[in-house]
Amino acid sequence: MDRQTSAIVGETSSYEKVQIPPQVDLVIVLGGDGTLLSVARITHPFDLPVLAVNLGTLGFLTEFTPQDLYEKLDKVLRGDFQIENRMLLNARLWRGSRKERDYNVLNEVVINGGALSRIVNLEVHVNDQYMTSYRADGLIIATPTGSTAHSLSAGGPIIHPRMHALVLSPICPFALTNRPIVIPDDSEIKVMLATVSEDIRVTLDGQEGCDMKKDDVLSITKAENCIQLVKSPARSYYKVLREKLHWGREITDDPN
């Protein structure tokens, strides 16, 4: 029995996760949003449909429940399904003329300090035009998909996933007039660290990261490929917002 056959019948496969996308036509993700974020970073170059089943607690991104998996999977295998493309960001960290890191993320890129760090100074350029300098605990650059994640907790707006936009949300800015800003998704954002600190990190989807040093430049653009999420016909984006953010619930408790 070869390894591909053994994987089908339920035996242990010896394939590493990164080896799977080039060999398959469909990826099924069992887990929560965090699991899907990690899978998105390795599948997007291969234009694969991703069917995400929610085994977690929040489930903003995972479209299907375990109860309807087999019914929906049967339709998907027959070609009866719809795809929703979700934009990713490409983030490259430059140290002088040398590219130190190159990442792709589905939700957001976050620049912030450690527990003992002071306010950081981040100089931001958009399409090579100076925009502003943030003195803040950090900065979040989010996709529309990521607008309901870390960016939302920092006061950023919710952006529909089909919008062609990015949002920059400062974290606890020193100046109250520094507010989140939405810009076109074909923009190139360059963030330079102007603070001398030993504890500034770039975090990708809350799962990977690297150190950022003074005068490093983080360049962020829309990635060339999208992630293709298989959509559930019974699940609208607005229904997800109502359920997960508890919108429109009647107040039943007597305030008196």
Q: Please list the active-site residues.
A: 33
Q: Confirm if 81 and 75 have CB atoms less than 8 A apart.
A: yes
Closest of 87, 49, 59 to residue 235, by C-alpha: 59
Torsion angles phi and psi, residue 51, rounded to 5: -100, 115
Helical ranges in the chain per DSSP H:
3-8, 33-43, 69-77, 150-153, 237-245
Torsion of the alpha carbons at 202, 204, 207 and 212, rounded to the nearest 10: -10
The gap from C-alpha 32 to its chain's centroid, in whole angstroms, comes to 13
- The amino acid occupying position 113 is G
- Angle among Cα 128, 130, 136 to the nearest 5 degrees reads 125
Strands 138-142 and 129-136: unpaired
Cβ neighbour number for residue 188 with a 10 Å cutoff: 12
Alpha carbons 64 and 73: distance in angstroms, whole number: 10
